[in-house]
Amino acid sequence: MTITHIRSRAVSIPVDRPTRMSNRDLSDRHYVLVEIVDDTGATGIGYTYAGTAGGFLTKTAVDDLLAPVYLGADQDDIYGLWQRAYQETLLAGRRGAVIRALSAVDIALWDLKAKRAGQPLAKLLGGSMEPLPAYASGGYYRPDDGSWTDAVTAEIAFNIGQGFTDHKIKVGGLSVAEDAQRVAAALSAIGDNGRLALDANNAYLSVREARIAIEAFERAAGDHPLWWFEEPLSPEAIAGHAELSRQVRTPIATGEIHQTRWDFRALIEAGAAPILQTDAAVVGGITEWLRVAHTADTFALQMAPHWHHNLHTHLCAATTNTLVVEYFAAEKGIYNFERLLTPETRLRYQDNRVLVPGRPGLGILLDEAVVSKYEVSS
């Protein structure tokens, strides 16, 4: 079977309310959708998050750099095509939007392969269909939600009402003292039966600054250990993450911005983090995500992938070193990618777990009316 057509679209979806994290305001989310069609008419769907801008840049990388490599090729040669596409990006740059574009194309090929096999992607990859541990993600800074402590308390209560016992909130966007108050409020709302992770989104400029922050958060947590401290430093600060890991009690997690197995080789060799948050829509697709996950397993490192629960539920089901899946409730308006999907193909959850979709491939269908509404041309 050969690839006969590749269609890419960039969409921009506004968030519901004023929202920020430690290092940027959120107004719109840009995604790039890729559909690959073979000579039988079968279609695979892939996608990536381009950022708060840059959707058309990522789409252009699909159209100009990658599509010529894939068109007319054997759709089952996924690993070989990845290597040829990666070589083709040598002069354009092998990171950033280019690798996100490659991720979307690669995901579409795996979706197509699983659909042609009539299997959910998890099963095609040798995984189980059992529900997977998950946590409720959020805790962004939203001024309209009242005081910072009241807002985080209300969100934890919402998560618990949905059946989640484990949670994550943002830090780094306020003073350390104010964020410590939010940490204490969140843990008070969680009680003794759940866990809390903290996500700094690269907020701190040095190991010392990050250490001062996490030690304050640990004091605010009291006898309740924090689950992990996510992305305290810039992604380039691999040695810094390793140094911080050796200095603090709370486990360090990072990797959501890192791309390709070579970035993760550096993280692993440095001992930068015991928890890797590899994002298949960022790292280079499913092909590269699997390479990273299996390598991490040989070093007894756990995978807690970032975002894209529709995709990562399948991948986590097929790996033995899965820690947890990150889940965003649609009602929060943060992970708004699911607006693009038909309601019946959005991910389901229950009792602190996500359910592996039983439909072929990723199990998602695009709502074309919604995609058309948010599509951008330049």
Say if pTM beats, i.e. exceeds, 0.85.
yes
Condensed to tens digits (0 to 9), the pLDDT of residues 134-159 reads 999 999 999 999 999 999 999 999 99
Please tell me whether residue 229 adopts helix, strand or coil conformation. Answer: strand
Please report the pLDDT score of residue 1 as a whole number: 86
Rounded Cα distance, 116 and 361, in Å: 8
Q: Residue 119: phi, psi to the nearest 5?
A: -125, 150
Rounded Cα distance, 354 and 343, in Å: 16
Rounded Cα distance, 353 and 355, in Å: 7
Please report the pLDDT score of residue 126 as a whole number: 98
- Direct distance between the N- and C-terminal alpha carbons of the chain, in angstroms, rounded to an integer: 33
The structure tokens 């989640």 sit at: 164
The structure tokens 């269908």 sit at: 365
Q: 3-118+368-376: what CATH class? A: alpha beta
Instruction: Write down the domain spans for the chain.
Output: 3-118+368-376, 123-354
Please report the pLDDT score of residue 65 as a whole number: 98
Rounded Cα distance, 27 and 15, in Å: 6
Please report the pLDDT score of residue 377 as a whole number: 84
CB neighbour list of residue 257: distance below 8 Å, 6 or more residues apart: 202, 231, 235, 282
- Note the CATH architecture for domain 123-354: Alpha-Beta Barrel (3.20)
Please report the pLDDT score of residue 293 as a whole number: 98
Please report the pLDDT score of residue 368 as a whole number: 98
Please report the pLDDT score of residue 34 as a whole number: 99
Give, as one character, the DSSP assignment of residue 355: P
| Residue 247, token pair as written in the block | 């200095």
Please report the pLDDT score of residue 378 as a whole number: 73
Residue 193's CB is within 10 A of a number of other CB atoms, namely 9
**Does the fold of domain 123-354 match that of domain 3-118+368-376?**
no
Q: Identify the segments of the chain with pLDDT beneath 50.
A: none
